[in-house]
Chains A and B, each alone.
Chain A
Amino acid sequence: MRVSVIVFPGSNCDRDVAVSLKKFSNKSPLMIWHKETSLPDSDLIVLPGGFSYGDYLRCGSMAANSPIMKEVKKSAEKGSSILGICNGFQILTESGLLPGTLIRNQGLSFICKNTSLRVENDKSFFTHNYNKNEIVNIPIAHNEGNYFADENVIKDIEDKNLVAFRYCNKNGDINEETNPNGSLKNIAGIINEKGNVLGMMPHPERATDDITGLNDGEKFFTSIIESIK
């Protein structure tokens, strides 16, 4: 299993995601600085959460044009799997690897809290250890997590079952009240059509240890690790 975690100036969840990956795979990922112009062959490339380039211009826009991203795009075309969490999701939309974009939260506040998510796609590389409609508790921590895309894109994503997770409450209800940030259709994470790129705003790496009181991220990482094996 070859995993690379890309580290941008301002990334701050790079170590957390490396710890989670190591916990379930017994193997430490490689940490790759954004200025690198080559990328080792990787089964999985992770774009971690944080505030790359201080969120200048638009969240993820600078990182999307970082030298390493050319290599990430090439690897994605060749079939490597790419995971973007939080700022990583913003980088994926800014670089065109996923459709749509993430705009300012509807309530204008930074939101840091545990949220309920409903698993929508239980067949993917990243989510197959979950059951469809399973409710999981995973934290969010973002200011720009409000997923937006035009109507046709949203329809396409939904028709093709490319929504990975939606925000909900403990009962799995999906509506305006259970939408923390204004995301269209309560979308919290999406997969690309080829199935090898997933972006999500919630942080599964913060839900993999009893010390945080949450464990629902475990099935996310075991799904990925089993898919690679």
Chain B
Amino acid sequence: MKSLVKIMPKKGVLDPQGKAIENSLKQLGFPQIKKVKQGKIIEIEIDADNESDAREIITNASNKLLANLVIEDYEITFLKED
């Protein structure tokens, strides 16, 4: 099955890249855009019997490597198979 791990800067952590994108968008004429944060998405294909097993494995992987918990939060979702 396929899973997405969405990794975002924690609240209160400086996100200079998000800020730069936000300023750029304002300059381009999007005054409605109030705030931009930049994170990353990691797509994972995984062998597991069910979503709950897969979630446990990916949680472990996220804590060990994919996210830095000092500055980032993550969220695991599963993609519907085609």
Contact = CB atoms under 8 A, between A and B. Distances in A.
B65 A61 contact: yes
Contacts of B20: 108
A100 B65 contact: no
Interface stretch (A81-89, A143-151, A201-209, A219-227): A143-151
Contacts of A103: 13-14, 16, 71
Contacts of A58: 68
Interface residues of A, number: 19
A106 B64 CA distance: 26
The 3 A-B residue pairs with the shortest CB-CB distance, nearest first, are A101-B70, A104-B16, A108-B16
B70 A148 contact: yes
Contact of B70 (A57, A146, A149): A149
Contact of A148 (B13, B64, B65, B66): B13
Contacts of B66: 57
A54 to B, nearest CB: 15
Q: Mostly helix, strand, loop or mixed at chain B's interface?
A: helix
A150 B72 CA distance: 12
B17 interface: yes
Interface in A61-107: 61, 65, 93-94, 100-101, 103-107
A189 interface: no
A61 B70 contact: no
Contacts of B13: 103, 148
A90 B65 CA distance: 14
B42 to A, nearest CB: 9
Nearest to A182: B14
A106 B14 contact: yes
B14 A148 contact: yes
Contacts of A148: 13-14, 70-71
A103 B70 CA distance: 10
Nearest to B38: A104
A61 B16 contact: no
Interface in B60-77: 64-66, 68, 70-71
Contacts of A107: 16
Given A57-B65, A65-B65, A108-B20, A150 B14 contact: no
Given A94-B68, A106-B16, A150-B70, 12 more contacts: A57-B66, A58-B68, A61-B68, A93-B70, A100-B70, A103-B16, A107-B16, A108-B20, A146-B14, A149-B70, A182-B14, A182-B16
Nearest to A184: B14
Contacts of A93: 70
A57 B13 CA distance: 18
